[in-house]
Amino acid sequence: MATAAQEPKAPLKRSRRETRNDGGSALSTYGLLAPMLIVLGLFFLAPLYYILLFSIALRRFSPTEALAALNGELNGFTTELWSKLVGVDVIVKLPGIDLTVPTMVVALIFIVLLLLAVSGGRISKDRGGWIVGIAFLLLLAPFLTLPAGNNLLRIMSLSSEGDSLRLFFKSVSMAMTSSVIAVIIAIPVAYFLAFCVGKSKYTWMLIVIAPFLTSYLLRVFAWKVILGDQGLINSGLMAVGLVDEAAPLTFLIYSQFTVIVVLTYAWVPFICLPIFLSFETIDRRLLEAAMDLGATRWQAFRKISLPIIAPGIVAAFLFVFIPSIGEYITPTLVGGTQGTMYGQSLASQFVGGAFNWQYGSVMALFLLGVVLLLTFATSRFLRSGAGGNL
């Protein structure tokens, strides 16, 4: 026979006052959030709404239909502008081989590779890491370059006969290269600050990110002084006799190489922070236990540290790649004709004399769609814990 102490207690009923207070707190929370949501809507959603209207030709730059027809603006929705942007074929260039592939086929391949990179661990527990790694390598391969003088060495590349799509692939390639290089530089810096400096690591971290707090334009102009024909590097090489004064190194300025260097320098201090914070979350006892069990430093980093810092690395990569893909200031100041990027072409549709707001809106929506797709895939990658499959 159960005693009174053993009998389960009935759940306490909440009073009307407590229920009313909870409802009031929820309303007060929404009341506090409402002004911020309105501001976000005005400053972010409203411009996107107008860009959408221009892209589908529901709004025109010209005040009248007659003037719009004279300026070549469309008077209704049509796929002509989108066909102009993505309707051309993509040229896949391999060593000794040039392939012409429809744009939709290339887009489908990249979507499949993104899905494999995000959910490769779910497909196979044993080979999930290989699936994720190979998918990432195939995604990076067409866009990674190695600056070598006036040329860019690469395994394969994507191009197009359409000016906008060709500039888009070129911009993705430059942004991807600078992002990967920046992450590769930031990882050892963040590791050194997290494990080797000691109590002064936060002070050194502040010193590392200090350049990011200065004016971006000043830093770009400083690089113009360093990389110019009569700049610091050329002057130093001329002084030691390695470069003729009449023939300075021209690839240092106004080239794709210059844009990649400046973008890498600009973002390395900033992305050290998320990687450093990821290293800070690692329990040192796990590394000590791995070393006691006979693991090498590389094995301990590969099996313990890398899966833990994977979210920080991915976040750091996105912090560089997303703003770099639509970069305007850097290629304008130090890129020249060789370093022209997609963002410059997009801006010229609005303020550069073309005044083709409809096509510019299509270009903006296309870029926004690509960025949103990458952000969604990355968030899924992190939430699925795919970092443990690396």
DSSP summary character for residue 102: -
Torsion of CA 362, 366, 371, 373, to 10 degrees: 130
Tell me the torsion sign for CA atoms 192, 197, 198, 201.
negative
The answer to whether residue 69 sits within a structural domain is: yes
Q: Is residue 346 over pLDDT 60?
A: yes
Q: Which two tokens stand for residue 312?
A: 């920080």
The CATH number that applies at residue 91 is 1.10.3720.10
The answer to whether residue 84 sits within a structural domain is: yes
The answer to whether residue 383 sits within a structural domain is: no
The answer to whether residue 22 sits within a structural domain is: no
Report the distance separating Cα 241 and Cα 111, nearest Å.
51
Span 182-233, pLDDT tens digits:
999 999 999 888 888 878 888 888 888 888 888 888 889 889 889 888 888 8
Q: What is the pLDDT of residue 1?
A: 47
Report the distance separating Cα 306 and Cα 319, nearest Å.
19
Mean pLDDT rounded to a whole number for the chain: 81
CB atoms inside a 10 Å sphere around CB 251 = 17
Q: Which two tokens stand for residue 247?
A: 């023939």
The answer to whether residue 384 sits within a structural domain is: no
The answer to whether residue 246 sits within a structural domain is: yes
Q: Is residue 128 over pLDDT 90?
A: no
Report the distance separating Cα 228 and Cα 236, nearest Å.
12
- Beta-carbon contacts of 165 under 8 Å, excluding residues fewer than 6 positions away, are 85, 86, 88, 90, 103
Q: What is the pLDDT of residue 117?
A: 81
Pairing of strands 97-101, 157-160: unpaired
How many distinct structural domains can be found in the chain? 1
- Domain containing 365 equals 65-103+161-372
Q: With beta carbons less than 8 A apart as the criterion, state whether 347 and 355 touch.
A: no
Query: From residue 74, how far is each of 87, 279, 348 by CA, in Å?
Result: 18, 54, 19
Work out the average pLDDT over 303-307: 83
What are the backbone dihedrals phi and psi of residue 15, each rounded to the nearest 5 degrees, phi first?
-75, 160
Report the distance separating Cα 286 and Cα 311, nearest Å.
19
Tell me the torsion sign for CA atoms 356, 361, 366, 367.
positive
Work out the average pLDDT over 115-119: 81
The SS3 call for residue 228 is coil
Report the distance separating Cα 345 and Cα 48, nearest Å.
19
Whether this prediction's pTM lies above 0.85 is answered by no
Report the distance separating Cα 290 and Cα 287, nearest Å.
5
**How would DSSP label each residue in 156-168?**
-EEEESSHHHHHH
Span 229-281, pLDDT tens digits:
888 888 888 888 888 888 888 888 888 889 999 999 999 988 998 899 888 88
| Residue type (1 letter), 338 | Q
